[in-house]
Amino acid sequence: MLASFSRLALLPCLVVPLVGCGSNTGSEAKLGKIIIIHATPDAQKAAQTALIKAEPGDIIEFTAGKFNFTSTLSLDVSDITIRGQGPGKDQTILSFAEQGQGTGGEGLLVKSKEKFTLENLAIEDAKGDAVKVQDTQGVTLRNVRVEWTGGAKETNGAYGLYPVLAKDVLIENCVVKGASDAGIYVGQSENIIVRKCRAEMNVAGIEIENSINADVYDNVATDNAGGILIFTLPDLPKKDGKNCRVHDNQVVANNHANFAPKGNIVATVPSGTGIMVMANDYVEIFNNTIENNQTSGVTIVSYLVTQKPINDAGFDPYCEAIYVHDNKFAANGDKPAGALGAILGAKLGGKLPDIVFDGAIDEKKLVAGKLPETLGLRIRNNGDADFVNFDVLNLKLNGLSPPTWGNVSQDLKQYEGELAAIPAVSIPGADAVKK
């Protein structure tokens, strides 16, 4: 389509009437126009002006080329699509390498109330988060590449793709490299699909945090410090983290050094972590290939392992109703990292099992001395995967002296069984999810 406008390449932008455009959220499409942004010295002004003046139903379209921006692009209009000609090195690149703003500035900041789509372009070297979408219902991020081109550095932006306080979030066919916190992060949100993405060379590849109803599938997480994290943390407005399916992913060789800034919660994630669940409820992990992660394949822990004080009265620090089944495990735990991984590995002969559980349960929920069946950990059909419960509630670290252990157990039999399958997530306008 853009070939017909090649003679106008010197213009910073071009407006083309459009009939029936709109983002893919299932509601009725609105009339709008296409605003074409060319890679000229005035592109920063042209792009931000287009975003300010946009009306619902409009498309902001970047031509092929490298766009050198010096400040955040911001949008607060609903029902807008921003797109390029593809995320490749010779396609559409929005580069923030020469930003003059201070730390923490986003590449693209979106606060639309509803219906936002970003697709077919790359965002490189944002000073802070690359794409932050906040308080929006109906978010689609598709075929987007986010990269910090200087490699893994503590000074890289925290998040690559970052919907927060959002609803109906679809992230698909995206690639993120080099985030100093999480490559793909969805926080305090509801109804989420992350699929067919690739996350590598981040601290955390994909992270779902304090969110309800998430489907994470058909992704590749490799060469991160931690592949896929499902966390619930205290001191956030949205308290719940539950109903998450992690399935049909390749979680392989996540052994990158953890380069998160000190003090960040992900700085505590040991390098070599495949999938980690912390303080989340109703999580189903199945049909994944989980291999060559040097600390562990799947780690299931309460927030208590952080040894941080909990001052949030509404926060539940325990994991409940976690179901791990029908996964392929191989060659995990051969070189455990982190203080806890090192001492537990030493106790177990230098290697950690494929599945690591801290054993913490909420005594307030015990019935006749046991956790109800529907809230327990259940593990089945994972080949010859091995297991340990390291009983964190009775573990005492004694400084330079050997630790005092509680009932460390590698007996998997008491956790064998099934839990009810978690329903697939449905988002208006998205193709039906499988399984």
129-138 pLDDT, tens digit each: 999 999 999 9
Asked if residue 336 lies in contact with residue 344, where contact means CB atoms within 8 angstroms, the answer is yes
pLDDT in tens, 62-72: 999 999 999 99
Per-residue model confidence (pLDDT) at position 14 = 64
36 Cα distance to chain centroid:
31
Asked if residue 29 lies in contact with residue 429, where contact means CB atoms within 8 angstroms, the answer is no
State the DSSP code for 52: H
* Count of all residues that appear for the chain in the document: 435
**Range 364-391 average pLDDT:** 96
Q: Answer with the residue of higher pLDDT: 230 or 20.
A: 230
Residue 1: is its pLDDT beyond 50?
no
Instruction: Average the pLDDT over each of 79-83, 173-177, 264-268 and give the range with the smallest value.
Output: 264-268
Indicate the pLDDT class of residue 397, thresholds 50, 70 and 90.
Answer: confident
pLDDT in tens, 108-158: 999 999 999 999 999 999 999 999 999 999 999 999 999 999 999 999 999
pTM higher than 0.85: yes
Residue 435: is its pLDDT beyond 70?
no
Tokens 């494929």 belong to 354
What is the rounded distance in angstroms from the CA atom of residue 332 to the CA atom of residue 352?
8
Work out the percent of the chain whose per-residue pLDDT is above 70: 91
Residue 274: is its pLDDT beyond 80?
yes
What is the rounded distance in angstroms from the CA atom of residue 246 to the CA atom of residue 326?
12
What is the rounded distance in angstroms from the CA atom of residue 336 to the CA atom of residue 296?
7
Per-residue model confidence (pLDDT) at position 104 = 53
Q: Closest Cα to residue 276, out of 305, 302, 300? A: 300
Q: Closest Cα to residue 99, out of 148, 137, 162? A: 148
Residue 376: is its pLDDT beyond 70?
yes
Average pLDDT, the chain: 92
Token pair of 94 as six digits: 């929005």
Indicate the pLDDT class of residue 20, thresholds 50, 70 and 90.
Answer: very low
Per-residue model confidence (pLDDT) at position 280 = 98
pLDDT in tens, 313-353: 999 999 999 999 999 999 999 999 998 999 999 999 999 99
Residue 16: is its pLDDT beyond 80?
no
Residue 100: is its pLDDT beyond 80?
no
